[in-house]
Amino acid sequence: MDDSREHLERVRRQFTRQADAYSDMPQTSDAARAEALAAFTGVQPHHDVLDVACGPGFLTAALARRCARAFGLDGTPALLERARLHAAERGLDNLRFHQGDAEALPFADERFDVVSCKAAFHHFPRPDRVLAEMRRVVKRDGRLLVADMLGSENPACAQYHDRIERLCDPTHVRALPRSEFERMFAAAGLTVLAAPSGSMDYDVDAWMAHGGPPADVAAEIVRLFEASLETDRSGLAVRREGDRLRFSHRVVSFLLKPV
- DSSP string of the chain? --HHHHHHHHHHHHHHHTHHHHHH-HHHH-HHHHHHHHHHTT--TT-EEEEET-TT-HHHHHHHTTSSEEEEEES-HHHHHHHHHHHHHTT--SEEEEE--TTS-SS-TT-EEEEEEES-GGG-S-HHHHHHHHHHHEEEEEEEEEEEE---SSHHHHHHHHHHHHHH-TT---PPPHHHHHHHHHHTTEEEEE--EEEEEEEHHHHHTTT---HHHHHHHHHHHHTTTTT-TTSS--EEETTEEEEEEEEEEEEEEE-
Residue 1's pLDDT is 40
pTM equals 0.95
Evaluate whether residue 105 is within a structural domain. yes
Evaluate whether residue 212 is within a structural domain. no
Evaluate whether residue 42 is within a structural domain. yes
Evaluate whether residue 156 is within a structural domain. no
Task: Report the number of distinct structural domains present in the chain.
Answer: 1
CA distance 196 to 72: 24
Domain hosting residue 93, numbered range? 3-150+171-199+252-258
Q: How far apart are the first and last CA of the chain?
A: 35
pLDDT tens, per residue, the chain with 259 residues:
457 789 989 988 998 888 888 888 888 888 999 999 999 999 999 999 999 999 999 999 999 999 999 999 999 999 999 999 999 999 999 999 999 999 999 999 999 999 999 999 999 999 999 999 999 999 999 999 999 999 999 999 999 999 999 999 999 999 999 999 999 999 999 999 999 999 999 999 999 998 999 999 999 999 999 999 999 999 999 999 999 999 999 999 999 999 9
Residue 104's pLDDT is 96
Evaluate whether residue 235 is within a structural domain. no
Evaluate whether residue 217 is within a structural domain. no
Evaluate whether residue 75 is within a structural domain. yes
